[in-house]
Amino acid sequence: MKRIADYTTIFADDDIVVLNKRSGLLIAADRYAPDAPRLDLSAEKEFGKLYAVHRIDKDTSGIIVYARNPEAHQNISLQFQERTVEKTYHCLVHGHPLWNDGILTVDLPLLPDGDARHRTVVNKKLGKHSLTELRLIGSCGNFSWIEAKPKTGRTHQIRVHLAQSGFCIVCDPLYSGNQKPIRLSEIKRNWRGDELDEQPLLSRLGLHAYKITFTHPKTGERLTFSAPYQKDMDALRKQLAKIYGIDPLEQNADA
């Protein structure tokens, strides 16, 4: 079986590196999984020392930014602290949201490592302020594409806020009651194939860090980068678009 590359490079200069990572990689050391594969260690073979300025979940694919020197690290970290960085995620959920105008703002305090499975939980007493803007891109049969813009950066924030709103991301091993892979035979009418040989279109968390906007630490230029979907999620996107006419990339551009 061909090995999937850990990352592709979106942008790099002397101060920053912007990568598109595969699902299944930590972006830095994690006390709960000290031996898990890490993106920073993989990318440092190409770029040298990298400094993490933000995190995305191990199971999430998509865009990640690293600083290449202490000065850039301090600058971009401050941008995240001051919440001037804009982040956009795409995900596929089970069900059909009926939000007014297709938009929902979720403001629920979150406490990380809140249960025996190390999940983030809503806790109004001990949780930290957490805000996510959700927009329905479009529904496809039993699924819906959602655009999520977290205004804070809590662990598993999008996954928890969606679950609390009644919509779980597909193939989510922690927050979804339905973790089974998505297969073409389940979404295409009159599918003709061998169920024993069929490979799933998507068998990992259907959450992708799609776009990020921040200020370059040296030039002061406002930069926006987007990360193409990984091969598995893109194959699912194309099939759903072909069958239902809803493409999150086209709809996102229109919005």
Residues that are catalytic: 57
Backbone angles phi, psi at 158, to 5 degrees: -65, -45
Query: Could you give the angle at the alpha carbon of 157 between the alpha carbons of 184 and 38, nearest 5°?
Result: 75
Query: Which token pair is 120?
Result: 């983030």
CB neighbourhood size of 234 (10 A): 15
Query: Could you give the angle at the alpha carbon of 82 between the alpha carbons of 109 and 251, nearest 5°?
Result: 75
Looking at the DSSP assignment, which residues form a beta bridge with residue 139? 144
Given a contact cutoff of 8 angstroms between Cβ atoms, the answer to whether 68 and 14 are in contact is: yes
